[in-house]
């Protein structure tokens, strides 16, 4: 079986729950092991994942590479600029050719339409490693982190602060699939897309867009933010000024529940979207969140190969 993971809705709530449970079990089973040692069952032995990066990455690159090693498989990591893709070979032809060599493809790209095109032409699973539209693997790790820190997902209240971007889109999708609340503190002109809000609404989740950041964090179990300027976006002074009131600092965190978990997908622009006090403070779970990219993605890979869910 071969399944694409382009967005969280491709899997649905039941499969996501199965993946998160598997991630918890696998993480526990290898506690204290050397990081490069394969899991006891090595379920992806003999399989190879190709990774294509059209944008920079540290966590996605390393966590997928280590995920494949721990599952007993191997990887090929490519920057698009050094591939023929970077000289105009089409996405469709790249998908056809890579499908003859490898067992799955992960791609980080600028335009979400490209990953849809790749999935249409690949005969192996295609995984979204971030597009301008969404970042589903990140939110798998975020959900795992919230379960670890809050014991449950359903019923939690997540407050987003800042830019209505790709990461927020996947959080909204996750909330609508997994039964948690999402409140977005975003300045005018930087809201999440209507398409994403409408899809969530159809699944029963209404996401309030709040201009007052204090109202957004009120009663929050999870406070989450991200860079104000995503990869590929112009560094506009006007945008930075609009975002300034949404900075997650100690005063804003004090408006959430006292034991609220602070998340940030990283890389952080310290002193912009969040202060050091919050990033390095007692509520911060950002290093667990980063590590959980590895554990959550192992389960995503198994799901793509039909070995889970």
Instruction: Point out the annotated binding site for L-ornithine.
Output: 166, 226, 230-231
298 binds ligand CP (CB under 6 A): no
106 binds ligand CP (CB under 6 A): no
Residues 236-265 that bind ligand NVA (CB under 6 A): 265
* Range list of H helices, 80-212: 91-101, 112-121, 136-150, 166-178, 194-202
Q: Pick out residues in 119-138 that bind ligand NVA (CB under 6 A).
A: 130
57 vs 284 by CB, closer to ligand CP: 57
Active-site positions read 108, 135, 138, 226, 265, 293
Residue that is written with structure tokens 């301008």 in the block: 132
Q: Which does 58 bind (CB under 5 to 8 A by kind): ligand CP, ligand NVA, none?
A: ligand CP
User: Taking the complex as a whole, how short is the minimal distance between the CB of residue 202 and ligand CP, in angstroms?
Assistant: 28
Q: Could you say whether residue 227 binds ligand NVA (CB under 6 A)?
A: yes
Distance CA 290, CA 280 (A): 14
Helix (H) or strand (E) holding 245: none
Strands (E), 54-155: 74-79, 104-108, 126-128
The end-to-end CA distance of the chain, in Å, is: 12
157, 221 in Cβ contact below 8 A?
A: yes
Residue nearer to ligand NVA on the CB measure, 227 or 275: 227
Instruction: Identify which of residues 57 and 283 has a Cβ nearer to ligand CP in the complex.
Output: 57
168 binds ligand CP (CB under 6 A): no
Site string for ligand CP, 41-60 (x = CB under 6 A): ----------------xxxx
CB-based contact 211:188 (threshold 8 Å): yes
Which of the choices ligand CP, ligand NVA, none does residue 42 contact, using the CB cut-off of 5 to 8 A by kind?
none
Cis link prior to 57 (omega < 30° from 0)?
no
Among 167, 186, 300, 301, binds ligand NVA (CB under 6 A): 167
Q: Smallest Cα–Cα separation from 75: which of 52, 91, 42?
A: 52
| Interacting residues of 101 by C-beta distance below 8 A, sequence separation 6+ | 48, 50
CA-CA-CA-CA dihedral for 213, 136, 270, 66, to nearest 10: 160
CB of 60 to ligand NVA, least distance (A): 7
| Residue 109 in contact with ligand NVA, rule: CB under 6 A | no
| Footprint of ligand CP (CB under 6 A) | 57-60, 130, 138, 265-266
């Amino acid at each position: 079986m071969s399944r694409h993971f382009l967005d969280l809705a491709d899997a649905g709530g039941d499969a996501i729950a199965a993946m998160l449970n598997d991630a918890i079990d696998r993480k526990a089973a290898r506690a204290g092991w050397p990081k490069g040692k394969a899991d006891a069952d090595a379920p992806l032995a003999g399989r190879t994942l190709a990774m294509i990066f059209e944008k920079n990455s540290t966590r996605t690159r390393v966590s997928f590479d280590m995920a494949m090693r721990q599952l007993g498989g191997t990887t090929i990591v490519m920057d698009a600029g050094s591939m023929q893709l970077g000289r105009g070979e089409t996405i469709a032809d790249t998908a056809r050719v890579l499908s003859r060599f490898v067992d799955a493809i992960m791609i980080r790209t600028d335009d979400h339409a490209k990953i849809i095109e790749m999935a249409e032409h690949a005969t192996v699973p295609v995984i979204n490693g971030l597009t301008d539209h969404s970042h589903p693997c990140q939110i798998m790790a975020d959900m795992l982190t919230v379960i670890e820190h809050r014991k449950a997902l359903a019923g939690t209240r997540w407050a987003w602060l800042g830019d209505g971007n790709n990461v927020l889109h996947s959080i909204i999708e996750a909330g609508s699939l997994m039964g948690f609340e999402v409140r977005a503190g975003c300045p005018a002109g930087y809201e999440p897309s209507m398409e994403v809000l409408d899809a969530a609404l159809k699944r029963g989740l209404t996401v309030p867009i709040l201009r007052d950041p204090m109202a957004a964090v009120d009663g929050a179990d999870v406070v989450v933010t991200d860079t104000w300027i995503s990869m590929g976006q112009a560094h506009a002074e006007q945008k930075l000024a609009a975002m300034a009131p949404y900075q997650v600092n100690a005063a804003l965190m004090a408006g959430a529940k006292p034991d609220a978990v602070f998340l940030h997908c990283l890389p952080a622009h310290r002193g912009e979207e969040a202060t050091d006090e919050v990033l390095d403070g007692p509520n911060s779970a950002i290093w667990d969140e980063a590590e959980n990219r590895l554990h959550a993605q192992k389960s995503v890979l198994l799901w793509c190969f039909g070995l889970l869910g």
